[in-house]
Amino acid sequence: MNSHDEINLLLRAGAGLLVRRDHPHLAGSLDWLVREGRLAAVLPGLYAIPEITSSWQTRAKALALRHRDAVLLGAAAARISYWPEAPLDYIEAAIPYLVKPQPGFKFNRRHIAAELITERDGLRYSIPALTAVDLATFVCSDAIDVALRVRAATLRGMHDALRMTPHRAGNKERLELLIDSRDEPWSAAERLSHRLLRTAGITGWKTNLPAHVDGQTYYIDIAFEQQKLAIEIDGRLHETDVDLFESDRWRQNALVAQGWRVLRFTWAMLCDHPEVFISAVLDALH
């Protein structure tokens, strides 16, 4: 078997990646293939065919192969664990020693407690509770909201993760976000609606209340159970997700048939006319 055939076999066996240090006898052939543009370095000493080097999965796997004690953080951890659509610009990881910067990667010299790490398919990454807390900001709280919606983490778990990672820049903002999440919003729009209700001093509501209708379970975004008033919040996803739009209409019809009154508000309505939202809720309650 010639060296090029051996390299191809190793690439197939290694999910498209080849580690140079494990095959010193192929060094010359690897260098030639790189010069010819038939292989590219994902990280120093780790090669893949050029077509997959920009894939986040390839880069995450390469990192795990080069630094076996690395812990994937942020968007990469979110995509692996609970949020496949998490916006990802680079692979972020905690490594307990200094590492030379590499394009497409962000390395943090940071220790992560064992309780905050999980592993799958050879990849070590932060648990969803820590991932959500790390990613969330007041500009974009989606990481927390999605984690709550898909039940990947609990508020208590996120508070515990924050407590176990003290003395970090941004922890004050993270704590404020968790406090702001106390009514467990499932979207940014729901978070805003909760904030508006609290600010107006309106009480007696529950969030994501399960309602059982004809063998189906529907979750009411905001429910005044005693008055059978349902407040449905159409977040940004409702503008583009046809299936979500349809399912919400089925849910509304089922709730109305069971005697619920339903008010609907969009993200734009909450942002641009918060006083109308509060007035409509108060009118319905009274």
pLDDT of amino acid 71? 98
| Calpha distance 208→4 (Å, rounded) | 58
Query: Comparing C-alpha atoms, which of 12, 65, 17, 8 is closest to residue 41?
Result: 17
Which residues, 6+ apart, have CB-to-CB distance to 4 below 8 Å?
Answer: 29, 33
Asked whether the predicted pLDDT for residue 167 surpasses 80, the reply is: yes
Q: Do strands 261-266 and 229-234 pair parallel, antiparallel, or not at all (unpaired)?
A: parallel
**Residue 153 corresponds to which tokens in the numbers above?**
């983490």
The average pLDDT across 230-258 equals: 75
Strand order in the sheet with 206-213: 206-213, 216-224, 229-234, 261-266
CA angle 243, 209, 285 (to 5 degrees): 105
**Residue 204 corresponds to which tokens in the numbers above?**
């007696």
User: Buried b / exposed e across 247-276, counting CB within 10 Å, b at 16+?
Assistant: ebeebbebbeeeebebeebbbebbeeebee
pLDDT digits (tens, 9 = 90+) for 200-233: 999 999 999 998 887 888 899 999 999 999 999 9
pLDDT of amino acid 1? 65
Superfamily for domain range 188-285: VSR Endonuclease (3.40.960.10)
Percent of the chain surpassing pLDDT 90: 81
More confident residue, 250 or 102: 102
pLDDT of amino acid 235? 73
Asked if residues 83 and 62 have their Cβ atoms less than 8 Å apart, the reply is no
pLDDT of amino acid 252? 86
| Calpha distance 98→41 (Å, rounded) | 20
Instruction: Indicate the average pLDDT of the chain.
Output: 92
Q: What is the pTM of this model?
A: 0.86
- Indicate the pLDDT class of residue 21, thresholds 50, 70 and 90: very high
Asked whether the predicted pLDDT for residue 239 surpasses 50, the reply is: no
The average pLDDT across 133-159 equals: 95
* All CATH 3.40.960.10 domain ranges in the chain, comma separated: 188-285
User: Buried b / exposed e across 225-246, counting CB within 10 Å, b at 16+?
Assistant: eeeebbbbbbbeebeeeeeeee
**Residue 187 corresponds to which tokens in the numbers above?**
């979207």
pLDDT of amino acid 129? 98
- Indicate the pLDDT class of residue 240, thresholds 50, 70 and 90: very low
| Calpha distance 270→283 (Å, rounded) | 17
pLDDT digits (tens, 9 = 90+) for 24-54: 999 999 999 999 999 999 999 999 999 999 9
The average pLDDT across 17-24 equals: 92
Percent of the chain surpassing pLDDT 70: 96
pLDDT of amino acid 217? 87
Query: Which residues are paired to 264 by β-bridges?
Result: 232
Asked whether the predicted pLDDT for residue 241 surpasses 70, the reply is: no
